[in-house]
Amino acid sequence: MSCLNYRLDVYQGEKKTGVVYPTEPFLDEGHLERLEQYGYFPSPPMSGNAFDANYLRTLLDRAVNLNGDGVDAYLLYSAPVFGRIAHIDGSLGGYRMHGENISMSSGRKTVKNLGDHIYYQYWAEKNAARLAAERAIPYRTGSYVKGPYLLLWYLLIKDGVYARFKLPQQGRFITSLLCIQAFLTYPNISIFNRAKNVLLVAAITLTPRPLRLMLERRMVDYEAA
């Protein structure tokens, strides 16, 4: 076993919110297949995982484009390449939300916050693909960002200025098509949220730039550092 997942009670400051993270069901198997298709599988933030020590040493020594933050994505996404991921459905810890959470769980998002998250998730999946190939484990990857929310965040920052890390190059139209497809097919999204986000993607893609900026700035702070 390379990793053990367990749930975390979510706190706002010092107050428990009643939310337990992740909200999706854990997978019993098929983690690598879900990652291959969607660039993500249900998992907790860093403090909701216990990793095998030998796996930690191997991954941290060999990860590419690991730049300090987002370490949990690199560790989680390569874990199924090295062994089984087990889980405990009960909560064994807490996760405090504040304005600086990399995990996107709280606060008004900034171009930097979203861009960093896209970068870490993208390279975490690419690391998993590389390590799978070395072990002759079937895994197909591509040059585009994967996952419904990651693709939506990419659309939201295209009118902003993100320069911290180099993101994969993909145009607005292909990003929109991939995003709509992902929202229509990704498991565990309600019909309401599928419809809402497909309409949002269409609006961001098809409206003139002034109207698009008004919509984007309701969700992302373009001026924050």
pLDDT digits (tens, 9 = 90+) for 114-151: 999 899 999 999 999 999 999 999 999 988 999 999 99
Per-residue HEC secondary structure of 66-103 comes to: CCCCCHHHHHHHHHHHHCCEEEEEEEEEEEEECCCCCC
**pLDDT at residue 29 in the model:** 94
Q: Which residue has the higher pLDDT, 109 or 26?
A: 26
Q: Is the pLDDT of residue 195 over 60?
A: yes
Confidence of residue 100 (pLDDT cuts 50, 70, 90): low
Q: Is the pLDDT of residue 104 over 70?
A: no
Summarize the confidence of residues 176-195 as an average pLDDT: 94
Q: Is the pLDDT of residue 87 over 90?
A: yes
- C-alpha distances (whole Å) from 191 to each of 39, 146, 188, 213 are 21, 20, 9, 27
Smallest CA-to-CA distance from 35 within 165, 105, 132, 167 is with 132
**67-96 core/surface letters (b: 16 or more CB in 10 A; e: else):** eeebbbbbbbbbbbbbeebebeeebeeebb
Distance CA 113, CA 219 (A): 12
Q: What is the pTM of this model?
A: 0.87
pLDDT digits (tens, 9 = 90+) for 164-180: 888 888 999 999 999 99
